[in-house]
Chain A
Amino acid sequence: MPITVRTFATLGDAATALAAERDARFLAGGTLVMRAVNEGDTVSTIVRSTDQGLVQVRPAGARIEIGAGVTMARILADRELAFLHPAARAVGGPAIRSMATVGGNLLAPTPYGDFATALLALDATVSIQNGYARRDMPLEDFFAARGRNASGLVASVFLARPAAGALRFRKIARVRPKGIAVLTIAALLPIAGGRIAGARVAYGAMGPTPLRVRAVERALEGRVLDEAGIAGAVAAASDGTLPASDAIASDWYRREILPVHLRRLLLGIAA
């Protein structure tokens, strides 16, 4: 059967239509859904929305709200979001980046989801449109639920701007300059009085979804970013990770090099 395309002015209508049909899919940038369509996957209806909120970046009190339909290219064009540029640039090539969206990246299967890994380190909140209702949840909870009761529609993410230079991001890939991740590390490292205060560290491609690694965060708390200060964090680097073996790398290799790259990231050594 030909797939029908339904376009809605508001996200509420779109979310409602989406919930009404099992094989309906929401189309944002197209990098996930159109591929599925091209490869013959079961899709009955494509749901779209022209809701402006989807594509806006706007201040929300002390935080910033980024619409789920905002593309990587749009983020790279925004000086205000410079702290997100390394993560946005890690997604695909230029053509993919002018299509791929923030919301899509939250749903990209591992080892994809580099941008989402950075958002996790930034303690982002996801705003979900369920029917005509909105609810917010921490990104970490969103990932915990992903794939299971994944109802609703990602509307936007909220995040606080980190102190300049506090967010470090590194993607390890086999192919340069573009390749999918062997692993990705995003680390928010606020410094108070020369010491780490309130570190948040997240990995991509080290589990079924981007993961937050508390053991590493604890080990960094109150430490100085030098060889001695990070030793505990490096030792705990792989705790709680569940990397997959895939066409890019084995789980063994991912675990083996994770501490190496975490150390290099924390010490500011080139990959």
Chain B
Amino acid sequence: MTKTAVQFRHNETDVAVFVDGAANLLAVLRDGIGDVAPKYGCGQGTCGVCTVLIDGEPHLSCLTLAESCQGRSVETAAGLKNGPELHPLQLAFMQHFAAQCGFCTPGMLMAAKALLDRNPAPTREDVAEAISGNICRCTGYEPIVNAILAAASHDDARRA
């Protein structure tokens, strides 16, 4: 079977992988380079748990042809931390108890990062819009929205 070489930047490291035709980015991240932060939730583009940033923009890795990432930059939740230092979003999610089962969290964090990178002072409506493609079955969204707002204001003590 023919495999294609793909090189891209993965959380600030250059990686090169051989992929099968039509392999999606999610499979390549998880099985190819062992980054299991993005999850499989539907393969349909309807749940958002596989959300990653490609060149800074949110994408659904399950619907992204791995080949199309050649030479681009892919960020996942595994790269959010700065060394041992948690990203403000991670701190806010902890302080607001914005995760229960934790399965949607990696995608939520990346959807939130895409928002805050572009809009550091979002409204509640902006936040709802930013995570509108990400399903959470546990929390009722409220703590997640509050956490993202808190991270934006860097007021990590703010409570829901």
Residues of A within 8 A of B (CB): 2-5, 7, 27, 29-31, 34-35, 37-39, 43, 46, 48, 73, 92-96, 98-99, 176-178
Once the chains bind, are A178 and B133 in contact (CB under 8 Å)?
yes
Once the chains bind, are A46 and B22 in contact (CB under 8 Å)?
yes
A35-B44, A38-B43, A39-B43 known; A177+B128 contact, CB < 8 A: yes
A228 to chain B, nearest CB (A): 35
Once the chains bind, are B4 and A5 in contact (CB under 8 Å)?
yes
Once the chains bind, are B24 and A95 in contact (CB under 8 Å)?
no
Residues of A contacting B111 with CB < 8 Å? 93-95
A247 to chain B, nearest CB (A): 12
Residues of A contacting B91 with CB < 8 Å? none
Asked whether B152 is an interface residue with its Cβ less than 8 Å from the other chain, the reply is no
Once the chains bind, are A94 and B44 in contact (CB under 8 Å)?
no
**CB closest residue in chain B, given A92:** B133
Size class of the contact patch on chain B: 20 to 34
Once the chains bind, are B58 and A43 in contact (CB under 8 Å)?
no
Once the chains bind, are A31 and B21 in contact (CB under 8 Å)?
no
A5-B21, A95-B48, A98-B58 known; A30+B63 contact, CB < 8 A: yes
**Residue of A5, A39, A95 touching B67 (CB-CB under 8 A):** A5
The docked-state distance in angstroms from the alpha carbon of A48 to that of B129 is 31
Once the chains bind, are B48 and A99 in contact (CB under 8 Å)?
no
Q: In the complex, given contacts A30-B63, A177-B125, what are 11 additional A-B residue pairs having Cβ atoms less than 8 angstroms apart? A: A2-B1, A2-B22, A4-B22, A7-B67, A48-B68, A93-B48, A93-B111, A93-B132, A94-B133, A96-B133, A176-B128
Residues of A contacting B54 with CB < 8 Å? 98
Residues of A contacting B35 with CB < 8 Å? none
The docked-state distance in angstroms from the alpha carbon of A34 to that of B25 is 11
Once the chains bind, are A5 and B22 in contact (CB under 8 Å)?
yes
Once the chains bind, are A35 and B45 in contact (CB under 8 Å)?
yes
Asked whether B121 is an interface residue with its Cβ less than 8 Å from the other chain, the reply is no
Once the chains bind, are B129 and A94 in contact (CB under 8 Å)?
yes
Once the chains bind, are B65 and A98 in contact (CB under 8 Å)?
no
Asked whether B116 is an interface residue with its Cβ less than 8 Å from the other chain, the reply is no
Residues of A contacting B96 with CB < 8 Å? none
18 pairs of residues in contact across A and B, judged by CB atoms under 8 Å: A4-B22, A5-B22, A31-B45, A34-B45, A46-B21, A48-B68, A92-B133, A93-B111, A93-B133, A94-B58, A94-B129, A95-B133, A96-B45, A96-B60, A98-B54, A98-B57, A99-B63, A176-B128
Once the chains bind, are B22 and A43 in contact (CB under 8 Å)?
yes
Once the chains bind, are A34 and B2 in contact (CB under 8 Å)?
no
Once the chains bind, are B62 and A34 in contact (CB under 8 Å)?
yes
CB contacts under 8 Å to A, within B118-132, are 125, 128-132
B59 to chain A, nearest CB (A): 6
CB contacts under 8 Å to A, within B17-56, are 20-22, 24, 43-45, 48, 51, 54
